Structure 1
Amino acid sequence: MILVTGATGHIGNVLVKKLTSSRMAVRVLILPGDDLRSLAGLDVEIVEGDITDFNSISPLFEDVDRVFHLAGIISIMSGQDELLYRVNVMGTRNVVEACLKNNVDRLIYTSSVHALKEPPHGTQIDETCFYKPEYSRGGYDRTKAQASLEVLEGVKKGLDSVIVCPSGIIGPCDYNVSQMGQLILN
């Protein structure tokens, strides 16, 4: 069984479509009231929970082999720091702990290129750039760096994990029209 958090988001719904087209058993963790248009017609088990509440999600990780953790808040608006921290950092900590508690084989965490310490101008960003929250430009960048460090703490405890750091996301199945998607449409 594969568990996907953030399955109704742009990357999440594309991933779920790919997984189900390969006939994999998929469980999607959604917030109560989430718009499910992006999952319509897919053969998935839909469960409700909130990554900020460990007790609501831990049982959902039972009998799960792999977790794709994509749930998070993307915002560059001021005044969002508390929400960003609660969802991006504490939520990721809860996902890591639920994986460890339930002996999940692998966690694939979707972070962001903005979580990495920006190298000098003209230098390529790659795996050698580290997560340094103190060098972040804002709350989103900082919390994604902190969340990535939470995943690395889980690795120290024995969790097999991969961290993916995408940049601007564009393409089909952008049901909620992201800022990047709106830029392209404009």
Structure 2
Amino acid sequence: MKVAVTGAAGFVGANLVDQLVGDGHEVVAIDRVANQRSTSSAVTWVNADILDPNAMRTAFADVETVYHLVAVVTLRMQDPVAWRINTEGVATVARAALDCGVRRFVHLSSVHAFDQAQCGKVLSEATPRSIDPEIPVYDRSKWAGEQELRKVIDDGLDATICNPTGIWGPADYLPRLSRLNGLARSAAKGRVPAFISGVGFDLVDVRDVAAGMILAAEKGRTGENYLLGGEFANLIEWMRQCARSAGRRGPLLGLPLSALEAVMPIAEPIGAKFNSDIISKAALGPLLASPLVDHSKAANELGYTPRTLERSVRDFISFLVESGQM
């Protein structure tokens, strides 16, 4: 089958392309960067702008399934580029797919499209959505992007939506590891002496996200959302696991979340001056919520079965060593 992947050179995109090629598909890999990791003869690389309808229609010629992954991930409260890519970009790609008669469309949204502060103890597909103007632009734009897609679904596009949690794991390469992978690598190298304790997040292996998207293309119901979760992890313990797997000691000192909240009024402006959003109110939000994620809908309807966190830790550290990144 001929399929297309937007954002094919990114972290999730590269892993998805690898799985699709492994399954025997011919892949049109769409991106605007030169980081074209796959050199398989089954992959055709296309440099195209997802905001260009004509370019998308050209790329989708004779394609049966489109996986749309392009997004701008940011912790900022406002970011006009992220808003446009995450909303208008979805609409443009989906409309082009409909125009080309694409049989199936899978959109990679995010758990952040759900309001984690309003979910209670467990987050599911029934959780309220990210409409509060006081939450980060990424969260709001991912929900708005889903709404743009639904307009095209109403016009006849057969599309489904996947909402992964915190994505990490192999394969990923320097110099631009994902946020979580960068943190895990630092911990494995013994470079994180202290971290916030008592907070956690659902972490999912990138390989499971790719597999979940393929399952959604095969079995997902039109217009439905599927949370692709993994395992809830206490973050300081997760980093200690990564360190132990690499033969090192992880963070020894656990700091209360209140300590981070106390320095936030000073630390956030300093980070902004260095163009960093890591220490910010937006970054603190998910840690304060720390919800459990119910991915039973994906398990029951798609046959989605993520691997354990322990296995992902072991595989990630092995990957770093084998790829010369440790």
Give the structure 1 partner of residue 105 of structure 2. Answer: 107
Letter in 2 for 1:22: D
Aligned residues with identical type, % of pairs: 30
In structure 2, the residue matched to 1:14 is 15
User: Scaled by the length of structure 1, what TM-score is found?
Assistant: 0.90
- 1:93 counterpart residue number: 91
Could you tell me how far 1:131 is from its partner in structure 2? 3.7
Corresponding residue number in structure 2 for 1:53: 52
Deviation at 1:101, TM superposition (A): 0.6
Matched, 1:156 2:154: yes
Normalised to the residue count of structure 2, the TM-score between the two structures is: 0.53
The equivalent of 1:185 in structure 2 is 185
Distance 1:25 1:120, change over 3 A: closer
Q: Which residue is 2:225 aligned to? A: none
From 163, 186, 190, the counterpart of 1:165: 163
CA distance in 2, matches of 1:136, 1:152: 24
State the alpha-carbon separation in 1 of the partners of residues 134 and 21 from structure 2. 36
- Tell me the SS of whatever aligns to 1:2: strand
Map of 1:121 onto structure 2: 120
Q: What is the deviation of 1:130?
A: 4.7
Superposed structure 1 runs of 4+ greater than 2 Å apart: 40-43, 117-121, 129-136
Deviation string, structure 1 residues 46-90 (Cα, Å, up to 9, x no partner): 1110102222222111211100000111111355x1110221111
Aligned residue identity for 1:67: V
The alpha carbon displacement at 1:39 in A equals 1.8
Distance of 1:50 and 1:136 partners within structure 2 = 30
One-letter amino acid matched to 1:179: R
Output the CA distance in 2 between the equivalents of 1:144 and 1:102. 24
Assess, with a 3 A threshold, how the Cα gap between structure 1 residues 42 and 181 changes in structure 2: closer, same or farther: farther
1:141 aligns with 2:142: no
Distance 1:52 1:182 in 2: 30
Q: What is the DSSP-based 3-state SS (H/G/I as helix, E as strand, rest coil) of the residue aligned with 1:28?
A: strand
Give the distance between the partners of 2:14 and 2:89, measured in 1 at CA: 19
1:17-60 Cα deviation digits (max 9, x unpaired)? 011011111111111x4312x22346301111010222222211
Q: Deviations over 1:113-158 (max 9, x none)?
A: 0011333321x22222354434661111111111111111121111
Alpha-carbon distance change, 154 to 131 in structure 1, aligned in 2, over 3 angstroms: farther
Larger relative helix fraction: 2
Q: Larger relative CO (CA 8 A, sep 6+): 1 or 2?
A: 1
Which residue is 2:62 aligned to? 63
Which ranges of structure 1 fall in alignment gaps of 5 or more residues?
none
Q: What is the SS of the residue equivalent to 1:128?
A: coil
- 2:35 matched residue in structure 1: 35
Give the direction of change, closer, same or farther, for the CA distance of 1:94–1:47 in structure 2 (3 Å limit). Answer: same
Which is higher, the Rg of structure 1 or of structure 2? 2
**3-state SS of the aligned residue for 2:168?**
coil
| Counterparts of 2:77 and 2:60, CA distance in 1 | 34
Counterpart Cα distance in 1 of 2:142 and 2:129: 9
Q: 1:3 to 1:75 in 2, by over 3 A?
A: same
Matched residues in 2 for 1:76 and 1:103: separation?
A: 36
8 Å CA contact 2:6–2:31 kept in 1: the answer is: yes
Structure 1 residue 96, shift from structure 2 partner: 0.9
1:44 equivalent to 2:46? Answer: no
5+ residue gaps in structure 2?
187-326
Judge conservation of contact 2:3–2:65 (CA < 8 Å) in 1.
yes
Please provide the CA RMSD for this pair.
1.7
